[in-house]
Amino acid sequence: MTETPGYIQKIRADFPILQSKVHNKPLVYFDNAATTQKPNLVIERIKNYYEKQNANIHRGVHHLSQVSTQDYEDARIKIQHYIGASKSSEIIFTKGTTDGINLIASSFGALLKEGDEILISAMEHHSNIVPWQLLADAKKIELKIIPIAQDGTLLMEEFERLLTAKTKLVSITHISNTLGTINPIENIISKSHAFGAKVLVDGAQSIQHGEINVSTLDCDFFVFSGHKIFGPTGIGILYGKEQILDEMPPYQGGGDMIKSVSFEKTTFNELPFKFEAGTPNIVGGIALGSAIEYIESIDKQSAFEYEKNLLKFTEKELLKIDGLRIFGTAKEKTSLVSFNVGDIHPFDIGTLLDKQGIAVRTGHHCTQPLMDFYEIPGTLRASFSIYNTVEEVSQFLTALKRAISVLS
């Protein structure tokens, strides 16, 4: 790659923070796996909501409540269509990916019994480990771990060996937030269903890097966070198949999730409201709908392909640096590169990069078992989005080499 395409520069202009400076240096934002930046469309939608229509939703008869309710439910429909769900009632608003996984652990977990088994992989984020450990302790369920190879790919033969008639749920990341590995999710779903197991897909790192169709995937649950796809923080989505969601008890009790309440008995609301207790993050839901509008307005396929090419270019250039090791070398990967340089601590390099205006992530990335597997304290992680440029990669490489020379 020699220069950034014009359509990417056009996209970049929609994100005002990218014109910022850090330590008097132009900001190079390579921490998109942690959170993406927000386009003007989303920022203006949030501002407009609080300036012109702020009201609680679903029960108000007054104008502002009805307008806000309509916008909130319209956003649900936009998200339904974007991920290919068959019904808007299968779209549950949550606080984010972590909240969605905890909802499933609580509500689907209530249907499980002692001796049942849950499978997760060795590359999972802590949010897809800890809820299942808590459930396993509470209900004497066995939690099994799918091992990985050194290149960061799942050992599929081991996965198939672990599947049994006792397997009730396979909870798996679509794309590793540390390695960038794209897991063979269709194969995993098919093999799991053959044993009668349900499948939860953690889409936190895949939702912003490719087309998602939950109906085609045939997954039972899919979760993601709004802030990973140009929306606000504090809002996320749980997709679940209607039949399964109907069988699950509510996650929380309170307003909006009830049909009727007396001191003797409470009956619960229909989907999706059964799982949406209390006043929701109204503006978050509406602004997430705007984020979906934004990504639908661009040439998504070209942008996604550009991202992959930017990653390949970056990895090729990084490997020219003496002592640099990339963690996660799967053939099928996207969006990010994790690496270390010799014995230099990643935090030290990250600090010197920051002084040069380069934002990367350092640490264990909420995947401590993965760090133990590689016997390292952490990595540097550069993660890309559709607004990053070839020129930024060049600035990053120059800054990285300068940091290494100081620390060597």
Is 219 a known active-site residue?
A: no
CA angle 271, 273, 275 (to 5 degrees): 90
Q: Which of 260, 253, 296 is closest to 274 using CA atoms?
A: 253
- How buried is residue 270: exposed, middle or buried, by Cβ count under 10 Å (0-12/13-18/19+)? exposed
Residues 334, 180 contacting (CB under 8 angstroms): yes
Beta bridge partners of 236: 94, 225
Choose, from 366, 371, 390, 397, the residue flagged as catalytic: 366
CA angle 220, 221, 227 (to 5 degrees): 155
The Cβ of residue 354 has, within 10 Å, a number of other Cβ atoms equal to 17
Secondary structure class of 343 (helix, strand, coil): coil
Sign of CA dihedral 161, 214, 122, 234: negative
Secondary structure class of 202 (helix, strand, coil): strand
φ/ψ (deg, to 5) at 236: -155, 180
Q: Please name the residues in contact with 290: beta carbons below 8 A apart, sequence gap of 6 or more.
A: 41, 42, 45, 75, 231
Secondary structure class of 250 (helix, strand, coil): coil
Q: Which of 142, 79, 147 is closest to 115 using CA atoms?
A: 142
Residues 140, 114 contacting (CB under 8 angstroms): yes
Q: Please name the residues in contact with 181: beta carbons below 8 A apart, sequence gap of 6 or more.
A: 123, 152, 153, 154, 175, 328, 330, 332, 333
Sign of CA dihedral 254, 255, 257, 259: positive
- How buried is residue 129: exposed, middle or buried, by Cβ count under 10 Å (0-12/13-18/19+)? buried
d(C-alpha 78, C-alpha 91), whole Å = 10
Residue numbers annotated as active site: 366
